[in-house]
Amino acid sequence: MHDLTQGTIPKHLISMALPMMIGMLIQTLYFIVDLYFVGKLGPAALAGLSLAGNAMFLIFALTQILNVSTAALISHAVGAKNQNDANITFNQSMMVSTVVGVVVCIAGYLGAQPYLDLISKDAETVKMGLAYLHWFIPCMALQFIMVSISSALRGTGIVKPTMVIQTLSILLNIILSPILIAGWGSNHAMGISGAGLASSISIIFAVALLCYYFKTTDKYISVDFSLWGINLTRIKKLLAIGLPAGGEFFLMFVYMGAIYWLIKPFGAEAQAAFGLGSRVMQALFLPAMAIAFAAPAIAGQNFGAQNYQRVKETFRWTALMTCSLMAIISLICLTQAELMLSNFSDDQEVILISVAFLQMICWNFVPAGLVFTCSGMFQALGNTMPALLSTATRLITFILPALWLSKQDNFLIEQLWYISVATVCLQALVSYHFLQREFKKRLPADNLSTKCSDELINNKFHS
């Protein structure tokens, strides 16, 4: 367990974010390898991968319920020095994740076809998406166990073991992808199905390593099956914090699905291009997201310990770091978009649409960094409803004008990207407003002023 209530905030952010960033950068390489080999199978395969991959936003929505609530409650318990409370939260989270994982696996196989039929009219694209999902669904189901363990450890201030295991898992995925997709060394190419199978094998490997880690290492929290009985009080606490955060990702699933549906008339090439551009964009976001993901544990422990000044300091440093990284990424997309995308598809129309997407959408990267930071702080404070409301604001202000434009004779795909930029900027303003309101409600002013006075006295004394 790492005590994050002492020491400098920037140091804690960097020390926690660095291992996550390394893991995320390796995950970026995994995205690139997957895109490279699937892209060579043609626009239909790339579109199928993108449409099926969008289903992960739905899984993210469900896992986020446990991810956010488990980390928040455990960080509060650690800050309050209540180990028993932390263990109850962890074991209830593990129990729920196991049950939900089984349900997701069953629902995935039953619902894959209707989902793909809804957002694509190209039969070959649907066929490719189904081939991928058939092997990828076990990976989605096992995400719940992974998230429960990693979020619990993050709440105690520990990120390195999880990141090492996830990194090894991703490296295995990278090795398996060309072997299974293209048949390297085996002369048996599975095509897009191989991409799904590679992911499922790697996640099974990661879960096995995590279970071994918990069995052989002393930790602040541990698996205790006697605590797996249904604890309605604790489950209600998990859902109270987690459901709005999960709803936030569910709205992103709806948002992405709406875009695929809106650009359906432009054909498989347009859907492939959007899928390619959005995947590259998500990969570029990972370093900034690592900083934002580190913030809830730091701010959460200090909130639990009633060190409210350090909570606000965590926000300021996180916002500065994430927005600075996003500004750098924006410049890269404006100047090097074609260079980044040209190797992923031989179809020039796909590349042209994808380049235009990145060069337009990058104008919302800096406000997106502020959104990530605010979302992390809402998690730390134990109230994720404002994040859900800000995402709902973005969704409504995007879909209504987008639907109207799609009915016009001169509808262009680029118009969707302009609307997206405007709505993310609006979301950033809404999120910041909600966060300032939460600070006033949850961080007592007298405590803040006392902390500031104490720090000034200490500084004068030491000088």
Q: What is the DSSP string of 51-62?
A: HHHHHHHHHHHH
Long-range contact list for 177-181, CB < 8 A, 24+ apart?
Answer: 177/30, 177/33, 177/34, 177/37, 178/33, 178/37, 181/37, 181/38, 181/41
* Structure-token pair, residue 258: 């709406």
In sequence order, what are the residues at sequence separation of 6 or more whose Cβ sits closer than 8 angstroms to the Cβ of residue 102? 141
What sign does the CA torsion over 406, 408, 413, 415 have?
A: negative
Boundaries of every domain in the chain: 9-458
Q: Which amino acid, residue 88?
A: I
CA R_g for the chain: 22
Report pLDDT for 225. Answer: 86
Ramachandran bin of 81, using left for φ above 0, alpha for ψ from -120 to 50, beta for the remaining angles: left
- What is d(CA 454, CA 45) in angstroms, rounded to the nearest whole number? 61
> Among candidates 297, 302, 295, 357, which has minimal Cα distance to 323?
295
Tokens of 331: 């410049």
Neighbours of 234 (CB within 10 A): 20
What distance, in Å, lies between the first and last C-alpha atoms of the chain?
A: 33
Q: What is the pLDDT of residues 11-34, one digit of tens each?
A: 877 777 777 677 666 666 666 677
Q: How far is 92 from 96, CA to CA, in rounded Å?
A: 6
Q: What is the pLDDT of residue 165?
A: 86
User: Model-level pTM?
Assistant: 0.65
Pick the closest to residue 325 from 26, 13, 75, 52 (CA basis).
13
Query: What is the predicted pLDDT for the residue at 218?
Result: 63
Residuewise pLDDT in 10s, the chain (463 residues): 566 777 788 787 777 777 767 766 666 666 667 777 887 787 788 777 777 777 776 787 788 788 888 888 888 888 788 888 889 999 999 999 999 999 988 988 998 888 888 877 778 888 888 888 889 888 888 888 888 888 888 788 777 788 788 888 888 888 898 899 888 877 788 888 888 898 899 889 988 888 888 777 767 788 888 889 999 999 998 888 888 877 777 887 788 888 888 888 888 788 888 888 887 887 788 788 888 888 888 888 888 788 888 888 889 999 998 999 999 999 999 998 888 888 777 778 888 888 999 999 999 999 999 998 998 888 888 787 888 899 899 999 999 999 999 888 888 888 999 999 999 999 999 999 999 998 888 887 655 544 444 444 444 434 4
Q: Give the list of residues 6+ apart from residue 350 with CB closer than 8 angstroms, or none.
A: 43, 46, 269, 272, 273, 276
Amino acid (1-letter code) at residue 136: F
Q: Are the beta carbons of 34 and 188 closer than 8 angstroms?
A: no
DSSP for residue 7: S
